[in-house]
Amino acid sequence: MTIENSQCLVFSTCPTQSCAQQIAQTLVEQHLAAGVHLVPHIQSVYRWQGEIKNHEEVWLVIKTRAEHFTQIQEIFQTLHPYQVPELILLPITHGLTSYLAWIDASCQLTSTEI
């Protein structure tokens, strides 16, 4: 199995629930994600432009296929307000066969409703 043809999780954060919802909705509507968990009220501490920042954010857990990553990046560049949004791909090495099949079916442009 190559990473380009495999199921994966993509992690990101958004500054608001509405931003996260817009990105999640777009990804699922365009069959670029099978589903997206929106986890509100995470606390992020990070360094940005020489200062330590501390903000509440919404964590996105995107279930997708690795070959969609470039298109997902483009959507984030269009819809995400951060200059440098977090966007990290982690391959799924093992999983319930039926769940992985659901990701595959949901991420096809010709996918039927599951």
**pTM beyond 0.85, yes or no:** yes
Average pLDDT score over residue span 84-101: 95
Residue 112 confidence (pLDDT): 53
Does residue 111 have a pLDDT over 60? Answer: no
What percent of the chain is modeled with pLDDT above 90? Answer: 89
Average pLDDT score over residue span 72-100: 96
pLDDT in tens, 29-67: 999 999 999 999 999 999 999 999 999 999 999 999 999
Residue 110 confidence (pLDDT): 63
Gap between the Cα atoms of 66 and 54, Å rounded: 31
Task: Characterize the bridge pairing of strands 7-14 and 51-65.
Answer: antiparallel
Whether the CB-CB separation of 10 and 64 falls below 8 Å is answered with yes
Architecture of the domain defined by 3-106: 2-Layer Sandwich (3.30)
